[in-house]
């Protein structure tokens, strides 16, 4: 999500939609959220020009490249097809609040609108 926000440019806020569908994915009162990935091979083979990573070498983000560089986009797609997700468990009791915090922190912008259904009456926000 941070990659999409960076590619889109300056954002004021975010909207989360389809939360009614996301709720159906919650199992056993827990929701799994992926915030990082692991490169499956030797670390020296990780394409550092494509990924941001933390001190533990977990991939925490994607580096933005030139908008029309299709070769780079292909390299990114190929690299992403190899990574392994690292899941964190979030309690379903407050999963919407947890999800809002996770996404807002990743993107660096507040979430102002939430939608729990297909029409405007299912939307909340300011």
Tokens of 74: 């292909």
Note the pTM of the prediction, 2 decimals. 0.69
| Total count of domains within the chain | 1
79 is written with which tokens? 């690299």
- Bridge partners (DSSP) of residue 111 are 14
pLDDT computed for residue 126 by the predictor: 59
Domain range for 81 is: 2-125
Q: Is the model's pLDDT at 44 over the cut of 70?
A: yes
Share of the chain above pLDDT 70, in %: 93
pLDDT tens, 54-96?
888 889 889 999 888 999 999 999 999 999 999 888 776 777 7
Tell me which H or E stretch contains 86: strand 84-91
- The residue written with tokens 């939609």 in the block is 17
Instruction: Pick 42 or 26 by higher pLDDT.
Output: 42
Long-range contacts of 116-124 (CB under 8 A, 24+ apart): 116/19, 116/20, 116/23, 117/20, 122/20
Residue among 102, 3, 124 at smallest CA distance from 52: 3
Q: Is 61 within 8 Å of 108 (Cβ atoms)?
A: no
């Amino acid at each position: 999500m941070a990659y999409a926000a960076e590619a889109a440019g300056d954002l004021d806020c975010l909207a989360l939609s389809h939360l009614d569908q996301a709720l159906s994915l919650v199992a056993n009162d827990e929701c799994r959220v992926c915030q990082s990935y692991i490169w499956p091979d030797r670390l020296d083979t990780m394409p550092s020009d494509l990924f941001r990573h933390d001190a533990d070498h977990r991939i925490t983000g994607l580096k933005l490249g030139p908008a029309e560089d299709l070769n780079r986009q292909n390299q990114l797609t190929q690299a992403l097809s190899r990574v392994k997700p690292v899941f964190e468990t979030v309690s379903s009791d407050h999963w919407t609040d947890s999800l809002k915090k996770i996404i807002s922190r990743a993107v660096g912008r507040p979430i102002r609108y939430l939608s729990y259904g297909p029409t405007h009456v299912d939307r909340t926000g300011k």
